[in-house]
Amino acid sequence: MPHDTPLIATIVAGLGLAFVFGAIANRLKAPPLVGYLLAGILVGPHTPGFVADQALAPELAEIGVILLMFGVGLHFSLKDLLSVRAIAVPGAVVQIGFATALGLGLALALGWTVAGGLVFGLALSVASTVVLLRALQERRLVETERGRIAVGWLIVEDLAMVLALVLLPALAGLVNGGMDVGSDPLAVSLGLDLGVGGILVLTLVKVAAFVALMLVVGRRVIPWVLHYVAHTGSRELFRLAVLAIALGVAFGSAKLFGVSLALGAFFAGMVLSESELSHAAAQETLPLRDAFAVLFFVSVGMLFDPTSLWRDPLPLLAVVFIIVIGKSVAAFVIVRLFGHPVTTALLISASLAQIGEFSFILAELGVKLGLLPEAGRDLILGGAILSILLNPVVFNAFGRLRPLLERPAPAPAAQPEEVPPAEVAAAPEAPLPAEPATLEEPAAPTALTDHVVLVGYGRVGSLIGAALQAAGRPFLVIEDADQPLARLREAGIETIVGNAAVPEVLSLANLPGARQLAVAVPNAFEAGQIVAQARAANPGIAIIARAHSDAEVEHLRSLGADAVIMGEREIARGMAEALAGQDTPAAIAPGAGLFHA
C-alpha cells in the first residue's frame, strides 16, 4: 500500500540530485555548490517533473544552518569575538547602511514605496551564513584573524537582522495604519501596547538577556552535561547530547528571546568551546552539518524561477551589482580605513559578496506584511542565486587584484647623508610578511632537492619535524593553520602555506626532486588526495601516511602510500613490548618510560 511521504521524497530527491550535479560540477572544476543549486532548481516548482515539498525543504535547511553555526561557535571563543569588535561592529553597521541605501535607490527607481525599498535594501545587505562559512572552511581561514573578523562581522549582521525582523511588523503598522504596532509576542501576552521605540527597547533587552543567560548559566550547564555524558562511555549518547544541545538551545532561544536560530546555535557552541570536549563535539556533528548544509543550497535553488533571467534582466543585473560590487567596495574601504592590510580587506569583501537565508526571511515577511512587492522577492532570490554562484569567482578575482593593490610605491631618491652604523644596528627588524592565504600571491617553488616533504605540523607533524631537524635532514613543511605557522617561522623552517590537497600548493614542494613524503594530516580523505597527486608526480618517492582505522589504511595504500601508520596499532605494539620487557606487572608504574633503546 503506497504511502504519502513528502519528507522522505524531499530528502532523497534533494540529496540524490545534489550528489549527481555536485559530482558533475566538481568534474568540471566548478564549486560543488553550483551543482547543489542546480539540483534545487530541477526539483522546484518552476521546472517540469518532480516538485519537492517547498515547506519542508527550508526547514531541513535550517537544521543545517543551526549545526553549522554551532560548529563555528565551537571554534570561536568569547575572547575571539571581543577581539574583533572594534572592526566588526562599526564595519558591519556602516556596510549594512550603505547597501540598504543602494537598495532603496533601486527600489525608488522601480516605483516602489520607501518602506518597500528599506526592506529590499536590508535584504541585500546581509550575507549568507552558510556560504560565508563554507568559503572560509574550504580555505582553512575560520581560525585566522581574518576569519574571526569575517565571522564577527556576520554575527553583527545577524543581530541587526534579528532587530529588523522584530521591527518590520511595527513598520507595517505605521505604513498601513491597520496593524497593531505593539506586535511583539511578549508584549501581546502581557497585554502591553508598545510603540516602535518600546519594541526596540524590548528587543534589545531580550537579546541582552539571552546573551547573559548563555554566558552565566550556559557556560556551566552545557559543559557539565557533556562531561557527564562522556563519563558514561557511550559514544551514541554523547553524539545525541551534542545534537540535542545544539538544536534545543537554538530553538529555545528563538522561541523565548526572539533571536535567530543560527545565533542561538552559535552561542551554544561558543560557551562549549572552553571545554576540552569541544573538539569531539565538532567531530560528532560534522557529517550532519555537511548533509543539511547541502539541503540549504537545494532549498535556495527551489525558490528560483530561471525565466526571470531573461524576462526582466536589467533590475536583476542591478541587484547583482549591489550585492557583488557595492557591498564589496564598501567593506574593502571600511576595513582599510581601520588600518587592516589589503589581504584582510579582500577576504572580508569576497566573503560578503553574496546574500542568503536572512534575505529570504526578510523578503517573505516583507511580502506578507504588504511592504515589499512580489517582484522584489523574485529579485532578491535571483540575486541570491547569482551571487552564490559568483562567490568563488569573486574570491579568485580578488586574489588576482591583491598584487596590484599592494604594489609598492616608487622608492624616493637617495639622500646624500649616510646612515651611521650605530643607527643601522639599532633599527628594528623588518616585519615578517603577511602569511600567504587563498587571496594572496602564490609562493615561489622550493629550491630543495633530495629532501623530505612534511604535510601538517600539528601534534604528529611537529614531532616528525623535530626528528628530521635532529638528524640534519633537509625538509620543508606544508601547513595552513595559524599557530603551527607561527612556530615554523620562529624555528626558521622552510614552509609552504596552503592546503596540500590543492595541486597548485603541492607543486611548490618539488615532489619530482624529493626523496620522501610524510603525510601527517588526520583527515584520510584529504590525505588520499595528497598521496595520489604525489605518486603521480614522482613514482619513486617514498610515501608515509597516518590513519585511524583499517579502512583508512587500505584506502591510503590503494592510492600509493608505501607505509601507513595507524595510531591504535602503534599504541598496542608499544604496550605489548613494554609488557614483554617487564618481569612483573608491578614494574609498569605510572609515568614509567615505555620506550627503550
- pLDDT in the model for residue 416: 45
pLDDT < 50 positions in the chain = 1, 178-182, 408-442, 584-597
Residue 548 phi, psi dihedral angles, 5° rounding: -120, 0
Give the end-to-end CA distance of the chain in Å, rounded to a whole number. 71
Residues 6+ apart with CB under 8 A from 294: 14, 15, 18, 22, 36, 64
Q: Are 36 and 23 in contact (CB under 8 A)?
A: no
- pLDDT in the model for residue 289: 75
pLDDT digits (tens, 9 = 90+) for 368-403: 888 888 888 888 888 888 888 888 888 878 777 766
Q: What Å distances lie between residue 188 and 40, 194, 195, 205, 259, CA to CA? A: 38, 9, 12, 16, 17
Closest CA to 129 of 272, 266, 21: 266
- pLDDT in the model for residue 80: 65
Is residue 517 helix, strand or coil? strand
Own/partner long-range contacts of 344-348 (Cβ < 8 Å, ≥24 apart):
344/145, 344/146, 344/149, 346/398, 346/399, 346/401, 346/402, 346/405, 346/439, 347/141, 347/146, 347/147, 347/150, 347/398, 347/437, 347/438, 347/439, 348/91, 348/146, 348/149, 348/150, 348/153
Alpha-carbon distance of 244 to 66, in angstroms, equals 11
- pLDDT in the model for residue 592: 37
Q: What Å distances lie between residue 357 and 146, 392, 534, CA to CA? A: 23, 18, 40
Q: Are 401 and 325 in contact (CB under 8 A)?
A: no
Helices (H), 352-458: 357-368, 374-405, 421-426
Alpha-carbon distance of 477 to 485, in angstroms, equals 9
SS3 assignment for 275-332: CCCHHHHHHHHHHHHHHHHHHHHHHHHHHCCCCHHHHCHHHHHHHHHHHHHHHHHHHH
- pLDDT in the model for residue 407: 54
- In the numeric block, which cell numbers belong to residue 65? 544552518
Question: Exposed, middle or buried by CB within 10 Å (0-12, 13-18, 19+), for 553?
Answer: buried
Tallying the residues shown for the chain, one arrives at 597
Q: What Å distances lie between residue 337 and 271, 333, 334, CA to CA? A: 32, 6, 5
Closest CA to 545 of 521, 525, 577: 521
pLDDT digits (tens, 9 = 90+) for 100-113: 999 999 999 999 99
- pLDDT in the model for residue 426: 37
